[in-house]
Amino acid sequence: MAWPTIDRQSPVTDSDAPPLLSDEVKAKIRSFFERYETRRAALLPALHVVQESLGYISWRAMDEVATVLDIPASEVFDVVTFYTHYWTKPRGKKTIVVCRSITCELMGAGVLLEAFKRHLGVGEGETTPDGAYSLATEECLAQCDHAPCVLINEKKHGRVKPDDVPALLADPDNDKLEVPRSDLYDPVLGEDATTRPRGGERKG
Amino acid sequence: MGDYEPVLLRNVGVEGAATIGVYKKRGGYRALAKALKMTPDEVVEEVKAAALRGRGGAGFPAGVKWGFLPKDRDVTYLCVNGDESEPPTFSNRVLMENDPHQLIEGTIISAYATQSSIAYVYLRVEFHELFHILQRAIDEAYAAGYLGKNILGSGYDLECYIHRGAGAYICGEETGLIESIEGKRGWPRNKPPFPAVEGLFHKPTVVNNVETLCNVPHIIERGAGWFTGIGPPGSSGPKLFCVCGPVNRPGCYEGPMTITVRDLIYGDAYGQGMIGDRKVKAVLPGGISMGILTGDELDMKMDFADPAEYGLLGLGTAAAVVVSEDTDIRVVLRSIAQFFAHESCGQCTQCREGTSWMYKIARRIAAGEGGPGDLEVMYETAGNLGMMPGLSICGLSDGAAFPIRTLIEKFRGELEQHVREAPDEIEQRSPSTVRS
Amino acid sequence: MPKIEIDGIEVECRDGITVLQAALEAGWSVPHYCYHPGLSVVASCRLCLMEMQMPSPKGGGMEWSSKLVPSCQVPVKNGLVVRFASDQVKRNQRRVMEFLLLNHPLDCPVCDQAGECLLQDYSYEFGDPTSRMRDEKHKSPKKDIGPRTLLYSDRCVLCTRCVRFTREITGTHDLCVTHRGSENEIDVFPGKALDNPLQGNVVDLCPVGALLDKDFLFKQRVWFLKRTKSICPGCSTGCAVSVDSNEGVVYRLKPRYNPGVNDWWMCDEGRFGWKYMHDANRITAPVIRRGGVTGTPPWDSVPEIVDARLRAVIEAHGPDKVAVVLSPMMACEEAWLLVRFLRSVASEATLVLGPVPIQGQLQMFPVGSTGDAVRFTIRREKCPNRRGVETIIAETGGPTLSFEVFCEQATAGAFAAAWIVGGYPEPWVTKDFAKAVGQLEFVVAQDLFPNEVTEVATLVLPACGFAQREGSFMNFGGRIQPFDRAIAPPDGAKGDGQYLYELAGFTGLYSGRAVREMMAQEIHLFSMVKEAPPMPVHQH
């Protein structure tokens, strides 16, 4: 046929294959088991923990999560790709999400997105070469009273004007929450360099 | 309307209201103590008597929903629907961010009424800050003995967990939500069986919206009679309304369901008029799913009955986005079509294919490449979607169909100009030009 | 038996089925993709929708509901009134067909499924001839999802039958749906290919050309194929299959619905286990050895040769020095004819059942299931008719020996002549057996491939593969299932049944059915044949 065939018989080697899930991450995943009747139900929390820990959900991580939950790897693949918040490729240290739904669009989200693209030098779905930022859009973030709104990791920013973008990007605390955090879904921070905190430098 | 005393939002803006101490000082958890002295059936009866209709969009009476639970059940689950993803709705966010204990109290009372052993709060993942606020409040409630074993010495036990979503509008549909808690893709289930009979983990389950549950403590404390005394029959009780877009004071406001769309946009207690006195071109008053109104239809009452008179699907989430006269209507059409194409779960043929087709057409029309027949195809396609005509498993596609159908019906003239007479591109608008 | 009304016609239907099933069984043509009687109901393709009468909300009597209802989901109930012949129903069918073709590549000329494709058939019967789609099509990739199967995602209609099959029937969960909305695709986890022992069924289940069998890919247009009812000889389960062939060549096997035996399914071992029939090494003509000289006798002379040589042996050594080794690969009819012939010449001939190949483990599906939860079984006994041949031996009476004892006694010189039937696709002659055969004065070997026995036999007769024969097999549970001849024996060969029929003194053409009727006179059991039901017009 004129177009290539994707080989699914061979495993995919992740570009920068992160290490196996640490025992701490697995323990964190297992800590959700008691909340549900089935282990399978811990899948969404497990994937959140993995993504926070590794920065993304690699093929290898999917397979390992499947093992921890004792479910088929195909069903982890199924779930990971259904939900837009899980990503299967590495992203920058911070992800900027620009809301693209109706209110934000009416209030200028299109121009705002262009401003981010210009200042970051990347397109939608891309990461800056230094790995600092990834840029994405999402449907309604339920911050329509503050349209146009933007999320930088966990932190929301409302009524952002294109002119605000340079200052916003320069602010090292632009992803730092003002409220006390709960560590329920937090990554397990080990010695390993590949684990990385998000949502600000809360360890000081 | 100016003299309306907020109930659901009474703690908004109060310093420290998200903490248990302040919440209790302001009368919090009294309703819970009262409810626990009643029998679960008495609580159900009280909520039934109040005719509290679900605030999530469908308006189904909450007490009646609880009444569907089979008598001889062992385990019951309560799911709190905090997936708030309907553009442009943010009332649940306002409730949970500012007054998380009100939701927790409502959840405990409702769980007691339904004899649920676990309450799962399904929270959309984008509510990061809110998650931390709510989780902290839940921790406080556990510490204070409002959650866990033997609540307030009543012998009733309840666990309450937050289950974070992962970015899928469809998980706000109650069976999509249940599937998502079970660790699956949020594909809605065929009904029957309804969740009340076979829901989460195949057990009897009740799914209620955040705002619905926030009403429960007040009904218990003040009585069903107080509740039915607010607003018109069939649309009783306090209601949250969102208004946003180019209005002077976008926000979430509380009032009786006697207000009109005009009140919501122009009222002193609400949106306080349009930025720069622009004229209203259109309003999507119930979230985008319910359909669109023209600037001449602002007398529509924000209740459960009146929207149908204007060709709309219903009251929906009572969240209005206002479109001003200087906006090209194609922006609205494209935005709505894009949303539903992105959020259709893809299970049913009509919705999966129809939403993406409509988006392709809407995008092309917006790019100035519309042609003869495009509007007809889109209009007809919107007529070939939906649960109401039996063409899909869930109501998402009704929500995709109504705004597009009503928009084409009510703005056909303007659309035809762009499609037939002068295909042209839309001018991009900056936030600074909107707000200045 | 509930009675329902479809389009104004009263239909009596089986209990516990859905309206769709009832309508299909009663001859209605109702389009459907996601529904399959062997899988759970998901009601997601929304093509089988119907109108139904419901109690009027205003009270007082029934009225047509404004809402369409999936007929695959509504159980039949006495008095139910439905209709498919309505504008609303037809409009929906037209629209669904249009929706499903929006992004379809319309590449029928290069698609294997063409000719048996439910997109083609339904478009023709229920769809519009033109599409109103002006925009670019969404193009989904082609994926190599397993050693035997390809997935053309762009032809997929997302009915999820294949996914449900791997979840509900095999329990292997190889397939899944990925992504969302119009981006939905069927997939496997990379590196965990679709490779379960029943995987070929997903190709059968696929109503369109999305899942394709690599073995069949681009080999043959389906409208050239002749379908012949057969029984898989791969194991003692006895799956009903269809042998699809053209001009004497088999191209593929497909399962036939056979409730209680294989339902709608078959295993890959059976599905791809027919290749040996077209192997170039097969014995295709009789061979005779006389004092170191090998020749090919004309078929006409075979009965004479056998008769004369056997009589000579009997005269020299006695009538108890003759044995016949019957194969569990034989049809009941063939075994019966052979026994009848040999006993007519040598009345005390010993009957022996040849080796019964046992391989691997009993495999039950879904994986890990037991008891009533088992949906499909692959058996260890890799032959179709041990029970049938055993029955014939037992009912015939007279001297019999087990294969092992026969080998011992023959090695010790207890026999002078034997007729040995093989017919196994795999090599089967052991050293001990070859040694035993070496002691015999006169050997007739009836087999597929040359081996240690055919090398020394006085007379070698070609055996045929199952698709070249007809008769019946008795499966593990004692069910006697007939099978038809799909293709002719190789050039030069004659069907086993045919020459055995002639040896047994009959003239004319061998017919499995006719022989079975004769057998039934002697062994009543053989009157109880169980055929798989005919496939419905609108198959699933």
Chain B contact present for C58, CB below 8 A? no
Q: What is the pLDDT of residue A193?
A: 35
**All structural domains of chain A with their residue ranges:** 23-82, 94-170
Orientation of helix B91-98 relative to helix B210-222, angle to 10°:
60
Identify whether C106 is part of a domain: no
Residue with the two structure tokens 């209790």: B24
Q: C150 at the A interface (CB within 8 A)?
A: yes
CATH, residue C60:
3.10.20.740
Cβ-based contacts of B349 with chain C (< 8 Å): 44-47, 96, 99-100, 157-158
Question: CA–CA separation, C319 vs B167, rounded Å?
Answer: 85
Question: What is the per-residue pLDDT across B379-394, written as a single tens digit (0 to 9) for each?
Answer: 999 999 999 999 999 9
Residues C307 and C249 occupy one common structural domain: no
Local confidence band at B1 (pLDDT 50, 70, 90 cut-offs): very low
Q: B343 touching C, CB under 8 A?
A: yes
Q: What tokens appear for B19 in the block?
A: 């903490």
Answer whether residue C164 shows pLDDT above 60: yes
Contact: A77, C180; criterion CB under 8 Å: no
C184 has pLDDT over 70: yes
Tell me, what CATH number does C184's domain have? 3.30.70.20
Say how many CA atoms lie within 13 Å of B212 toward its Cβ: 30
What is the pLDDT, as a whole number, of residue C33? 98
Please tell me whether residues C153 and C230 are part of one structural domain.
Answer: yes
Domain ranges within chain B, ordered by starting residue: 20-228, 239-324, 329-435
Give yes or no for A12 touching C (CB within 8 A).
yes
pLDDT above 90 for C60: no
* Predicted complex: ipTM over 0.90: yes
SS3 (DSSP) at B175: helix
Determine contact: C68 vs chain B, CB below 8 A. yes
List subunits contacting chain B, requiring 3 or more Cβ pairs under 8 Å.
A, C
C175 lies within 8 A of chain A by CB: yes
Pick from B88, B125, B164: which is nearest to A144 by CB? B88
- Looking at residue A185, its pLDDT comes to 82
- Give the per-residue pLDDT at B436: 45
**Is C118 within a domain?**
no
The architecture that CATH gives domain B329-435 is Up-down Bundle (1.20)
Cα C492 off chain centre by: 27
Is B393 near chain A, with CB under 8 Å?
no
Handedness of CA B337, B339, B342, B343 (dihedral sign): negative
- Architecture of the domain whose range is A94-170: 3-Layer(aba) Sandwich (3.40)
Q: Which of C144, C174, C179 sits opposite A74 (nearest CB)?
A: C174
B239-324 has the same fold as B20-228: no
Residue B338 at interface with chain A, using a CB cutoff of 8 Å: yes
Q: Same domain, yes or no, for C330 and C215?
A: no
Q: Which tens digit of pLDDT belongs to each residue from C302-319?
A: 999 999 999 999 999 999
Q: Is B148 in CB contact (< 8 Å) with chain A? A: no
Provide the number of structural domains found in chain C: 3
Residues from chain A that touch B74, judged by Cβ atoms under 8 A, are none
- Where residue A14 falls among pLDDT bands split at 50, 70, 90? low
CA distances in angstroms from B355 to B345, B402, C11, C48, listed in the order given = 10, 12, 38, 21
Which region holds residue C387: left if phi is over 0, alpha if psi is between -120 and 50, else beta? alpha
Min Cα distance B347 → chain A (Å) is: 12
Residues C241-263 pLDDT 10s: 999 999 999 999 999 999 999 99
B356 touches chain C (CB under 8 A): yes
Structure tokens at C508: 């004319």
Residue C71 tokens, joined: 């007929």
CATH code of C418's domain: 3.40.50.740
Least confident range from A190-204, B296-310, C77-91: namely A190-204
CA distance readout (Å), A123 to A126, A128, A138, A172, B410: 5, 9, 14, 22, 36
Are C189 and A73 in contact (CB < 8 Å)? Answer: yes
Distance, C-alpha C499 to centroid of its chain: 25
Look at residue C157 and tell me if it is in a domain: yes
Q: Which CATH code for domain B20-228?
A: 3.40.50.11540
C271 lies in the same domain as C348: no
| Residue range B325-377, pLDDT digits in tens | 999 999 999 999 999 999 999 999 999 999 999 999 999 999 999 988 999 99
Q: Chain C: residue nearest A12 by CA?
A: C190
- Chain C's closest residue to B189, CA to CA, is C42
What's the pLDDT at A188? Answer: 58
What span, in angstroms and rounded, lies between the C-alpha atoms of C419 and C319?
A: 14
CA distance B79 to B74: 17
- Determine how many CB atoms are found less than 10 A away from the CB of residue B431: 24
C392-406: average pLDDT: 96
* Residue C134 at interface with chain B, using a CB cutoff of 8 Å: yes
pLDDT tens-digit map of C14-45: 999 999 999 999 999 999 999 999 999 999 99
Give B169→chain C minimum CA distance, Å.
11
Kindly state whether A15 is in contact with chain C, defined as any CB-CB distance less than 8 angstroms: no
Q: Are residues C7 and C143 in the same domain?
A: no
Q: Do the beta carbons of residue C186 and residue C150 sit within 8 Å?
A: no
Is B432 in Cβ contact with A161 (below 8 Å)? yes
The model's confidence at residue C534, banded by pLDDT at 50, 70 and 90, is confident
At B258-290, the pLDDT tens digits run 999 999 999 999 999 999 999 999 999 999 999
CATH of domain A23-82: 1.10.10
Measured between beta carbons, the chain B residues lying within 8 angstroms of A85 are: 125-126, 165-167
Considering chain A, what is the average pLDDT of its residues? Answer: 89
A180 reaches C (C-beta below 8 A): no
Question: In chain B, what residues touch C45 (CB-CB under 8 Å)?
Answer: 348-349
CA closest to B202 among chain A residues: A37
Nearest one of C22, C5, C535 to C13, comparing CA atoms: C22
Which domain covers residue C238, as residue numbers?
Answer: 134-278
Q: For position C191, what pLDDT does the model report?
A: 96
- Token pair of B396 as six digits: 């998402």
Whether the CB of C505 is below 8 Å from some CB of chain A: the reply is no
List, for residues A49-106, the tens digit of each pLDDT value.
999 998 899 999 999 999 999 999 999 999 999 999 999 999 999 999 999 999 999 9
All residues of chain C having their beta carbon less than 8 Å from the beta carbon of residue A57 are none
pLDDT attached to residue A98: 97
Is there a domain that residue C267 lies in? yes
Give me the pLDDT at residue A202, please: 32
* B78-107: average pLDDT: 97
Between B1 and B44, residue with greater pLDDT: B44
The reply to whether C310 and C212 lie within a common domain is: no
> Is residue C539 in a domain?
no
Chains A, C: CB pairs < 8 Å: 77
Amino acid of residue A69:
L
Chain A residue numbers with beta carbons less than 8 Å from the beta carbon of C180 are 81-82, 84
From B344's Cα to the closest Cα of chain C, the distance in A is 5
Dig out the tokens for A195 from the structure.
Answer: 């684990």
Per-residue pLDDT of A158-191, as tens digits, reads 999 999 999 999 999 999 998 988 888 876 554 4
Give chain C positions within 8 Å (CB) of B343: 180-181
Residue of B nearest to C181 (CA): B346
C164 and C198 share a domain? yes
Nearest Cα residue in chain C from A81: C179
**Interchain contact, A144 vs B169, CB within 8 Å:** no
pLDDT band at A200 (very low <50, low <70, confident <90, very high): very low
CA-nearest residue to A176 within chain B is B129
Q: Are residues C304 and C269 in the same domain?
A: no
Residue B145 CB neighbour total at 10 angstroms = 12
Nearest to A38 among B126, B182, B331 (CB): B182
pLDDT of residue A4: 84
Q: A63: which chain C residues are within 8 Å (Cβ-Cβ)?
A: 189
- CA-based nearest residue in chain A for residue C145: A8
Q: Which CATH architecture has domain B239-324?
A: Roll (3.10)
Residue A2: pLDDT above 70? no
Half-sphere exposure of C54 (CA within 13 A, CB side): 11
Helix residue ranges, H only, C325-380: 332-345
- By the CB < 8 Å criterion, does B338 face chain C? no
CB contact under 8 A, B126 and A159: no
B85 at C interface, C-beta within 8 A: no
